[in-house]
């Protein structure tokens, strides 16, 4: 089975812009979770989608949003980018959202 894929791998944006990141889960997995990884805050949960519905949400501002499509692919959007949004964004998939998650390689976002 192919693993979790994320595109693009690297992004450079400027403050105030918006960005969309994409994640394709492992075939058959219906749950997709997103995480932000920074040196200062570590790994923090953003949100989880299951069958096109957001089931769980972390403590991030409304500028961070996401969606899931009928084929389980997910996108994450960040609007009005701030310097502090520079991070590695990781997507993870699981069969049901309970238990182990399988991670993609991440998208490295740099905000200038």
Partner 1 sequence: AQSVTQLGSHVSVSEGALVLLRCNYSSSVPPYLFWYVQYPNQGLQLLLKYTSAATLVKGINGFEAEFKKSETSFHLTKPSAHMSDAAEYFCAVSDPKNTGKLIFGQGTTLQVKP
Residue of 18, 27, 43, 77 that binds partner 1 (CB under 8 A): 43
By CB under 8 A, is residue 90 in contact with partner 1? yes
Query: Count of residues binding partner 1 (CB under 8 A)?
Result: 31
Residue of 2, 28, 42, 70 that binds partner 1 (CB under 8 A): 42
**Three-class secondary structure of residue 79 per DSSP:** coil
Beta-bridged to residue 37, according to DSSP, are 43, 88
By CB under 8 A, is residue 50 in contact with partner 1? yes
By CB under 8 A, is residue 102 in contact with partner 1? yes
The sign of the torsion formed by the CA atoms of 7, 8, 11, 14 equals negative
User: Cβ of residue 26: shortest distance to partner 1, in angstroms?
Assistant: 12
Phi, psi of 101 (to 5 degrees): -120, 150
Which residue is associated with the tokens 């500028």? 63
Distance separating alpha carbons of residues 12 and 25, to the nearest angstrom: 24
List residues near partner 1 by CB under 8 A.
Answer: 4, 6, 31-33, 35, 42-43, 45, 47-50, 55-56, 58, 90, 92, 94, 96-106, 108
């Amino acid at each position: 089975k192919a693993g979790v894929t994320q595109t693009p791998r690297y992004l450079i944006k400027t403050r105030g812009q918006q960005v969309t990141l994409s994640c394709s889960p492992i075939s058959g997995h219906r749950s997709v979770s997103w995480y932000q990884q920074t040196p200062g805050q570590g790994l923090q949960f953003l949100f989880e989608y299951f069958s096109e519905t957001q089931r769980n949400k972390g403590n991030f501002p409304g500028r961070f949003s996401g969606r899931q499509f009928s084929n389980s692919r997910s996108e994450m959007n960040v609007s009005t980018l701030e310097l502090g949004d520079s991070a590695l964004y990781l997507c993870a998939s699981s069969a049901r959202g309970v238990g182990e998650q399988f991670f993609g390689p991440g998208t490295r976002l740099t905000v200038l």
